[in-house]
Amino acid sequence: MTDLRIVRVDDTADDSALVNWRHVHNTIIPTAVLSHAETAERARRNRLAVACLDEVTVGCSTVRPPAPGSSVATVIARVLPEYRGRGFGEQVYARALAEARELGAEVIETCVLETNPEGLRFARARGFTETERYVLPGDTVAFIDLRLA
């Protein structure tokens, strides 16, 4: 398995990591495309990171920290389709999971778009079970919420 360089989005001097995170998100979640401003706002609320193999971005992660008084965090690992099946998702997920645990998470959730069967298999293979399906207003594709058992 090749090691990735995983970079926190807000750790960069310029916004190239933010642009790369947004590219991966928008490619994998085409039903909820984010603008640059929305991505920057998300980076202020959550822990975002991009995964790079040499200088090529292959994936990203989101860690939504537990809310005050909660022990639930959301961990989302994404890998572009052309880089799947090489162990990159496992590296991105492991780092994001460790970060969520460092933030005090005792319960881990994730979210997968219904049209991403590889992502759903990945989550289930790591012990996540479905808790809810919902369609955002104006959409036709469901999001699937899962919780780590």
Amino acid at 82: E
Cα-atom radius of gyration of the chain, to the nearest Å? 14
pLDDT per residue over 77-125, tens digit each?
999 999 999 999 999 999 999 999 999 999 999 999 999 999 999 999 9
Return all residues near 31 (Cβ < 8 A) that are at least 6 apart.
113, 115, 136, 139, 140, 141
Return all residues near 125 (Cβ < 8 A) that are at least 6 apart.
none
59 touches 79 (CB < 8 A): yes
Per DSSP, the three-state class of 125 is helix
8 touches 48 (CB < 8 A): yes
What was the pLDDT predicted at 14? 61
Return all residues near 50 (Cβ < 8 A) that are at least 6 apart.
6, 7, 9, 17, 20, 21, 24, 57, 59, 60
Q: Among 40, 48, 80, which Cα is nearest to 64's?
A: 48
Q: What is the pTM of this model?
A: 0.92
What was the pLDDT predicted at 142? 95
Mean pLDDT of the 126-147 span: 95
Model confidence at 4, pLDDT cuts 50, 70, 90, reads confident
6 touches 23 (CB < 8 A): no
Whole-number mean pLDDT of the chain?
93
pLDDT per residue over 21-41, tens digit each?
999 999 999 998 999 999 999
Q: Tell me, what CATH number does 11's domain have? A: 3.40.630.30
Structure-derived torsion over alpha carbons of residues 136, 127, 62, 16, reported in degrees to the nearest 10: -110
- How many structural domains are present in the chain? 1
Give the structural domain span for 50.
5-148
